[in-house]
Amino acid sequence: MSDIRYIKQADMLKCPFAIMDMSHYNEDGTCKCTDPQERARMIEEWEYTEEDFIGAGILPDGSDC
């Protein structure tokens, strides 16, 4: 049997992009948009751009605007 994770809708909607992939969220429900490795994956796999992050209020160093 596999482990099943659920995320609250409210937590998902806190993500600037409302990503529906559970691997994008930490165990506590926070999103990984400010994590450099996750950001690189989002750009490579999901075709986000640096401009998308800046527009969402996330600076290149992962901090909030």
pLDDT in tens, 19-63: 999 999 999 999 999 999 999 999 999 999 999 999 999 988 877
Q: How many domains does the chain have?
A: 1
Q: Is residue 37 part of a domain?
A: yes
Q: Is residue 33 part of a domain?
A: yes
Q: Phi/psi of residue 11, each to 5°?
A: -70, -45
Say what the pTM is.
0.82
Q: Is residue 64 part of a domain?
A: no
Q: Is residue 62 part of a domain?
A: no
pLDDT at 46: 96
Domain that holds residue 18: 9-55
Minimal CA–CA distance to 20: which of 34, 36, 31, 4? 31
Q: Is residue 65 part of a domain?
A: no
Q: Is residue 39 part of a domain?
A: yes
Q: Is residue 40 part of a domain?
A: yes
Beta partners for residue 31, in sequence order: 25
